[in-house]
């Protein structure tokens, strides 16, 4: 049982700690960005071409950060037929704050009640869009530490990204991603290979506690993002080259050493520019680049530029976007599926990009690949790290199960309801006017929500929030009632054995009413 680790076990690293399973939740309605351009009276292509966005998902007042996280956690547990007793750490990364004291994690603990498992470490982690990554690192570190008791860690990244009327509004979005962390994972974190940069800046922040809207300095935010990318890539590259040198391998690391490269995506066009920037970094750091052929051909005019002077240099940007276009198609374009179709989810953004890659490739195409991950949160905090995909892509393998579980991602995106921009604007106005009200009953329709979605039923006079879950029967009405938690033959994983494989069976729970206050 947990807590009885023998000394010989403590002395060894758990093998291949990383992501075992993932679940993505996307709101059931969206606004078309081309229609939003016309509604906002801006030039055609400003959002669709300039930002690279096609659709933007959003939530009515029926959903908040608690309901998003309840939905994605229960979906992950059900889809993988996991017992709540098998989780020993649960941490939430979010910047969508609805209580200055009580964590979203404590609300999620209501899902654990019937199992009797209250021995679950972790709380909420916050720093803009970086919170999900910090929570994920904490989970990985927990499994690799003397605190680990042999159970899974569960990480949830969730946010509702909304902006006041104006140029930033089309860069919104909403959603949540849940990730199961443990050893013997199909997506293993490469130990020691993280490049981090943290610095103080007011590029994007939320000082007004009574508003959902941030204060944004758009130009500064882009500069901070790109400068953090430069610094993180430089640190990562130095670390992996030092690791290779210790192993007797003398070679330079470059962008081609990543099979895939995913980024935090405020909007898709910035991601394309970011990949080009990594190529710029490779070019400037190379002692003798080939200027006659290959990706660097024709770039000799930029040999002496200083990287810190190029954040807004259109000539450099255009030249390296062209030079990296083939790499973008191969390594990064697939990652932008959710970002293009749903918008910026804040903390889940980069993990939505990771899920997009997995959903659009076969296990055989992913096997043994190194995936680079760049996570950025304003204020600002950033890390570039890498994941190594397992070598086992056989049917029924952990990688096969992970990829199969995400295969319906395109279907989720395609089955959403499109609403007119005027209705979207009305929803934003309603959220603005009712944010943090007490004695409030949400006005949004429950009928538009997906089956199995948690939603807000009311906020009482003490600001306590109550929730119910839509019926799993898509033809049935939302219901409230006792929960039938996932039950399997699985026991609490023993710390002296391998982490148990995820069962292939599924369970069908019913519904329950939850609150975030007293029961």
Q: What percent of the chain has pLDDT over 90?
A: 85
**Cβ-based neighbours of 429, under 8 Å, separated by 6 or more:** none
> 200 an active-site residue?
no
What is the DSSP track for 83-102?
Answer: -GGGEEEEEEE----S-SSS
**pLDDT surpasses 90 at 344:** yes
pLDDT of residue 473: 74
pLDDT of residue 489: 36
pLDDT of residue 474: 62
Rg, C-alpha atoms of the chain: 23
Banded pLDDT at 292 (limits 50, 70, 90): confident
Closest CA to 138 of 98, 92, 72, 175: 92
Strands ordered across the beta sheet of 87-93: 124-125, 87-93, 152-161, 173-182, 18-25, 187-198, 381-389, 370-377, 260-263
The model's pTM is: 0.90
- Distance of CA 472 to CAs 32, 389, 399, 475, Å? 28, 33, 27, 9
Identify the bridge partners of residue 196 per DSSP, sorted by sequence position.
383
Is position 429 annotated in a ligand binding site? no
pLDDT in tens, 111-152: 999 999 999 999 999 999 999 999 999 999 999 999 999 999
Banded pLDDT at 173 (limits 50, 70, 90): very high
> What's the start-to-end Cα distance of the chain, in Å?
31
| φ/ψ (deg, to 5) at 64 | -135, -175
Could you say which of 78, 91, 95, 212 is catalytic? 95
Residue pointed to by tokens 């939740």: 25
DSSP annotation of 115 reads G
Would you say the C-alpha torsion 456, 458, 464, 466 has a positive or negative sign?
Answer: negative
Q: What is the mean pLDDT of residues 424-452?
A: 93
**pLDDT surpasses 70 at 108:** yes
Could you say which of 63, 212, 224, 264 is catalytic? 264
* 295 alpha carbon, distance to own chain's centre: 31
Residue pair 270/225 in contact by the 8 Å Cβ criterion: yes
Residue pair 338/175 in contact by the 8 Å Cβ criterion: yes
Distance CA 320, CA 272 (A): 10
Could you say which of 59, 129, 224, 470 is catalytic? 129
More reliable by pLDDT, 94 or 291: 94
Residue pair 269/340 in contact by the 8 Å Cβ criterion: no
- Coil, helix or strand for 296? coil
Closest CA to 511 of 449, 462, 464: 449
- Coil, helix or strand for 513? coil
- Distance of CA 135 to CAs 19, 105, 122, 300, 415, Å? 13, 12, 9, 43, 31
> 114 an active-site residue?
no
pLDDT in tens, 10-26: 457 799 999 999 999 99
Mean pLDDT of the chain: 89
Q: Write down all domains in the chain, each with its CATH number in brackets.
A: 18-424 (3.40.47.10)
What is the DSSP track for 119-156?
Answer: --B--EE-BTBTHHHHHHHHHHHHHTSTT--S-EEEEE
- Distance of CA 330 to CAs 308, 333, 334, 357, 366, Å? 27, 7, 8, 11, 12
pLDDT in tens, 225-257: 999 999 999 999 999 999 999 999 989 999 999
Closest CA to 234 of 133, 307, 325, 328: 307
Closest CA to 483 of 458, 448, 507: 507
- Distance of CA 436 to CAs 323, 405, 430, Å? 49, 36, 12
**pLDDT surpasses 60 at 503:** no
> 121 an active-site residue?
no
Q: What percent of the chain has pLDDT over 70?
A: 89
Closest CA to 178 of 281, 47, 312, 69: 69
pLDDT in tens, 48-63: 999 999 999 999 999 9
Buried (b) or exposed (e) across 350-359, using 16+ Cβ within 10 A? bbbbbbbbbb
Q: What is the mean pLDDT of residues 202-206?
A: 95
What is the DSSP track for 57-68?
Answer: EE--TT--HHHH
DSSP annotation of 168 reads T
Residue pair 253/213 in contact by the 8 Å Cβ criterion: no
> 183: part of which helix (H) or strand (E)?
none
pLDDT of residue 357: 98
**pLDDT surpasses 50 at 505:** no
Token output for 224: 């901070």
Residue 311: how many CB atoms within 10 A of its CB?
17
Beta strand 204-205 pairing with 417-418: unpaired
pLDDT in tens, 350-401: 999 999 999 999 999 999 999 999 999 999 999 999 999 999 999 999 999 9
Residue 198: how many CB atoms within 10 A of its CB?
14
Residue 467: how many CB atoms within 10 A of its CB?
24
């Amino acid at each position: 049982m947990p807590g009885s680790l023998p000394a010989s076990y403590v002395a060894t690293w758990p093998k291949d700690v990383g992501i075992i399973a993932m679940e993505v939740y996307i709101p059931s309605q969206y606004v078309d960005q081309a229609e939003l351009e016309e509604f906002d009276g801006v030039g055609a292509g400003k959002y669709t071409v300039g930002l690279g966005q096609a659709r933007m998902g959003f939530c009515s007042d029926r959903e908040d950060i608690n309901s998003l996280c309840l939905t994605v956690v229960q979906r992950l547990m059900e889809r993988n037929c996991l017992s709540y007793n098998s989780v020993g750490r649960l941490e939430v990364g979010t910047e969508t704050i609805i209580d200055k004291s009580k964590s979203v994690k404590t609300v999620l603990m209501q899902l654990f009640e019937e199992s009797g498992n209250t021995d679950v470490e972790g709380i909420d982690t916050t720093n803009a869009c970086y919170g999900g990554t910090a929570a994920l690192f904490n989970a990985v570190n927990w499994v690799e530490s003397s605190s680990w008791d042999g159970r899974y860690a569960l990480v949830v990244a969730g946010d509702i990204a909304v902006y006041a009327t104006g140029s930033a509004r089309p860069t919104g979005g909403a959603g949540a991603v849940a990730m199961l962390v443990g050893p013997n994972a199909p997506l293993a974190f490469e130990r020691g290979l993280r490049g981090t940069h943290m610095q103080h800046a007011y590029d994007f922040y939320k000082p007004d506690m009574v508003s959902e809207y941030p204060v944004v300095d758009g130009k500064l935010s882009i500069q901070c993002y790109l400068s953090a990318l430069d610094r993180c890539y430089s640190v990562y590259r130095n670390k992996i080259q030092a690791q290779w040198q210790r192993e007797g391998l003398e070679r330079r690391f470059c962008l081609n050493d990543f099979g895939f490269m995913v980024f935090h995506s405020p909007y898709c066009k910035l991601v394309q520019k970011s990949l080009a920037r990594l190529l710029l970094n490779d070019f400037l750091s190379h002692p003798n680049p080939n200027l006659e052929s290959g990706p660097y051909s024709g770039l000799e005019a930029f040999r002496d530029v200083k990287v810190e002077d190029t954040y807004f240099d259109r000539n450099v940007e255009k030249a390296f976007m062209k030079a990296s276009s083939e790499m973008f198609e191969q390594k990064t374009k697939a990652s932008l599926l959710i970002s293009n179709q749903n918008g910026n989810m804040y903390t889940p953004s980069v993990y939505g990009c990771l899920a997009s890659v997995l959903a659009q490739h076969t296990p055989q195409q992913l096997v043994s690949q190194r995936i680079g991950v760049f996570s950025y949160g304003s204020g600002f905090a950033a890390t570039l790290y890498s994941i190594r995909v397992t070598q086992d892509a056989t049917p029924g393998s952990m990688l096969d199960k992970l990829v199969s579980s995400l295969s319906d991602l395109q279907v989720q995106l395609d089955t959403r309801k499109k609403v007119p921009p005027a209705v979207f604007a009305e929803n934003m106005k309603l959220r603005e006017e009712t944010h943090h009200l007490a004695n409030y009953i949400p006005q949004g329709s429950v009928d538009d929500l997906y089956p199995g979605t948690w939603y807000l039923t009311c906020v009482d006079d003490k600001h306590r929030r109550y929730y119910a879950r839509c019926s799993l029967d898509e033809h049935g009405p939302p219901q409230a009632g006792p929960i039938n938690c996932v039950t399997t033959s699985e026991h609490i994983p023993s710390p002296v054995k391998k982490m148990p494989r995820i069962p292939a069976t599924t369970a069908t729970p019913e519904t329950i009413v939850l609150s975030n206050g007293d029961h």
